[in-house]
Structures are given as structure tokens and as C-alpha cells.
Amino acid sequence: MSEQIAKIGIITASDRASAGIYEDLSGKAIIDTINSYLTTPWEAVYRCIEDNQKTIEDTLKDLVDNEKCCLVVTTGGTGPALRDVTPEATEAVCDRMMPGFGELMRAESLKFVPTAILSRQTAGLRGSSLIVNLPGKPKSIKECLDAVFPAIPYCIDLMKGPYLECDEEVIKAFRPKK
């Protein structure tokens, strides 16, 4: 039996994309961080898109429904500005929400900056995929992923997705003992 390659969607929602500027340090930070965590082969399905709700919704649906990503991680659009609509787009396409992810990310970020309370990161389930919204700064992305990623492989297990193994010297995934 051949080893299944996990597909993970990476979305950067940026008002810079609508201006034709596609340099994306945040998307690269997500890819680099996940590369450091996983020993399981995986493929990044990457999109840098305009920061508007319809485009975000359509891209989330495409990555889950068509690309069959078991996990989609977004960056950008989680603040209080009027143009920040990633959480609304995520909620619109998800079947069920996973509020613990956003709660933990904000709690972790508050250790570093008092403005973390302004963040609106969230997570939800669409079909058999987990969607997680991260903040936009590479440093914050790593801090938030360090906090929530230990639960992600088990969440994907519960949804019958690919088995994600982590480098335990970098991050230890939580799975209940059998």
C-alpha cells in the first residue's frame, strides 16, 4: 500500500494581493512551520488571494471540496478592521465551529502583546477538513501554531483524514492512549 500524501491548504488573504503585490512572508511562515513539525509527507496547496469575503469563501470551498485538503490554514484578515473578513468567510463555509482553537491562540498571543485581544482567529470543520485562521505576522503565526498544532493531527484522525506524524523533538502531537 502506498503512503498517502496529506494535502494542506495555505491561504494568504491580503489587500496587497488585490493591488497585484504577491510577496507573501506569512504564507511562507506557515509552510516553513508545518515543514518543521511534520515527518509525514505532505503537499502544500497554496493560494494568495484578495482580502474579500466571497473570494475567501470560494477559495476555502475549492481547497476542501475539490483539492481534498485535510487541513486549510489561513493567514490575514482576522483583525477588527472593516476589511478583515476571514473569520466571517470561514464561518460561512463551515458545518461546525471549533471555538477552542481561537480561544487558545488568543490566550497564547496575550503572553506577547496586549493587542491580541483584538484578534478574531477561529477554526471550523467543513466536511472532513479542519480550517484554522491564523494572524498575519510570521512571528504570531509560529506562536499560534505552536499552541494549537498538537491537537490538529488527532482532530484529523477523528475526521478519518490522513495520519499526520510529527517530529517529537519539534512538537508533540496529542493522541489519547489506546
**Residue the block writes with cell 512572508:** 25
Residue 143 β-bridge partners: none
Which residues are CB-contacts of 160 (< 8 A; sequence separation ≥ 6)?
128
**pTM for this structure?**
0.94
**Residue type for position 136:** G
Cβ pair 108, 144 in contact under 8 A: yes
Cβ pair 138, 25 in contact under 8 A: yes
- 3-state SS, residue 163: coil
Chain segment 101-154, per-residue pLDDT in tens: 999 999 999 999 999 999 999 999 999 999 999 999 999 999 999 999 999 999
